[in-house]
Structure formats: structure tokens, C-alpha cells
A and B are shown apart, each in its own frame.
Chain A
Amino acid sequence: MKIGVVVSEGPYTHQAADSAYHFVKAALAAGHEVPRVFFYHDGVNVSTRLSVPPQDERNIQVNWSALAAEHGTDLVVCIAAAQRRGLLDENEAKRQGKDSDNIAEGFRISGLGQLIEMGIQTDRLVTFGD
């Protein structure tokens, strides 16, 4: 089955990004496809490469980046939600005249159309959030 996943709450504050990660790993292991994960609301904060959690804790961003590298999962961060919360890729940082970007490897910033497209193209859409 083709499964689309939405993460709509922020990392560490909320379990959503962790649960989604474990769900995607389990789904892939069971032979399902997860072509894309869409990060929305505070979920976009998962994508910053500047978070530095204590070393004896899991690193949520690193987990997701590794998953994308291993399985080719498309990790899409909503641009409108990202810009409000200070998540910028190199192009957007330049365009907005900001002095740095902070998107981690494996994530890409794109529009809400990617969420709708995922809903159209997958068999199930599973949301992790409140």
C-alpha cells in the first residue's frame, strides 16, 4: 500500500514526530511504500539542522535525515509554515535577505500543493499530531 504521512506537531514538545518516524519505519519494513512525509504547523521545526539535543537523547532530525537517505522518502516542509517559524533553505534565505539557512539534509521546502498531491496519489493519508 502507498501511504502518505503528515507530521503536524513540533519535535521534543510532542510525540508526533517520533511516532511518525516509527510508523514509517514499520510500514517500510512491512513492505509498504511511503513516498512522502509532509511537515506542517510546528512539525516544520523537525527540519532544522541546528537543533542539538543532549547526546543521550534521540536526535529527531538526524533520524529523519537518515531515513530519507536510506529509503529515498521525500521529506517536504511546508514553505508558508516554515517561513513563519524561521526555517529557510539556501535559496529562500538569499531571496529573503537572511544571513543563513538551516534546513537539514534530506528535507526540502515546498508548497502545500505537495500535501494535496500526496493525498491524491496515496492509498492512505496518516496524520501525526493533536
Chain B
Amino acid sequence: MSEEIKKFLYVNRKAPYGTIYALESLEVVLIGAAFDQDVSLAFLDDGVFQLTKGQDTGAIGVKNFSPTFRALGDYEVTKLYVEAESLAERGLSADDLQDITYEDEDDDWAEKPSIRIVNRAEMADIMADQDVVLSF
């Protein structure tokens, strides 16, 4: 395996159900976590719906994979950037999102929030800072 560490950003732009992009994006993130790269996730446009709490897919007969986001901390995926404008445009706020946390090994395993709300300009800077961007 390569010793080089690159910055990987997974951009999630689509609603969690209706198409398979969100689910298959998460599958890449989980596999990618084994490669010890510097991983971030971005949620914008309808992608912000992926993180909402209280998802119930019972009536549409597909798997509710939203609990998996709460396990990302265990995979050392701890940076989930959510675009403020995308939330606002959809009548959502940070309170509508799941509590997703990680334990910070550099801070005596203190539990910290993984979700970071950023504005559109900050999101652009985050994207510009990456080596590899995969958009779903």
C-alpha cells in the first residue's frame, strides 16, 4: 500500500433515496477508510438530506442506511462538512441532522461532533484544498 497520504473528499449531492448514489458513496467511504488517507465528506444540495435524523424507509422497501453515518467515527472519518446554504434552501437547520460524533485520540478521547456546518465560500475552499475529489 502506498505510504503517501492524500486528501480525499467525497462530495454527496443527492438525496439518500430515489437513486443509489448516496448508498454507493458511503460504501466507497467505508472501504476507503482502510487506506489511511486524509478523508473528508461534503454534503450539499439534496445531499444534506442524507444526514437528517428520524429517517424511516419502511414504506418504500429499501434499507435505511442512515445509522451507518454514526459509525464513521470508528473508521476515523471525522470531518463531515455540511453546506449551510443547502440546509437553509431546504428549510433545514443543524438541529434536523443526526448527532454524529467521534472520539478524539489527540484529546484524551473526548467526544466531539463530526458535522461541521460551513458556508458556500468555505466549501469552495475545502474543495480546492483536496488531492482527490469523488462526487456522488
Binding site for B on A (CB under 8 A): 6, 40-41, 80-81, 84, 111-113, 115-117, 119-121, 125, 127, 129
Chain B residues whose CB sits within 8 angstroms of the CB of A129 once the complex forms: 135
Question: Can you list 12 contacts pairing A with B, beta carbon distance less than 8 Å?
Answer: A41-B21, A115-B32, A115-B134, A116-B35, A117-B1, A119-B131, A120-B35, A120-B132, A121-B2, A125-B132, A125-B133, A127-B134
Q: In the bound complex, do residue A120 and residue B6 qualify as a contact, i.e. CB atoms below 8 Å apart?
A: yes
- Chain B residue at minimal CB-CB distance from A112: B31
Do A81 and B4 contact each other (CB < 8 Å), given the known contacts A112-B32, A127-B135?
no
Bound Cα distance A111, B8 (Å): 18
Give the number of residues in B that approach A within 8 Å (Cβ atoms): 20
B93 located at the interface, meaning its Cβ lies under 8 Å from any Cβ of chain A in the complex:
no
A113 to B2 CA separation, bound complex (whole angstroms): 12
Contacts from B to A (Cβ < 8 Å): 1-2, 4, 6, 8, 20-21, 24, 27-28, 31-32, 34-35, 37, 131-135
Residues on B with beta carbons closer than 8 Å to the beta carbon of A120: 2, 4, 6, 35, 37, 132
Residues of A within 8 A of B31 (CB): 111-113, 116
A-B contacts counted at CB < 8 A amount to 49
Q: How far is the CB of B41 from chain A (nearest CB, A)?
A: 14
Q: Find out whether the CB atom of B134 lies under 8 angstroms from the CB atom of A41.
A: no
Instruction: Give the complex CA separation of A119 and B31 in angstroms.
Output: 13
Distance between A10 CB and nearest chain B CB, rounded to angstroms: 12
Cα–Cα distance between A6 and B133 once the two chains are bound (Å): 11
- Known contacts A120-B37, A121-B2; is-contact A115 B21 (Cβ 8 Å): no
Nearest-neighbor residue (CB-CB) of A114 within chain B = B31
Besides A41-B21, A81-B24, A111-B31, 10 new A-B residue pairs in contact (Cβ under 8 A), listed by A number: A40-B24, A40-B28, A41-B20, A115-B134, A116-B8, A119-B131, A119-B132, A120-B6, A120-B35, A121-B2
A117 CB contact (under 8 Å) in B27, B35, B134: B35
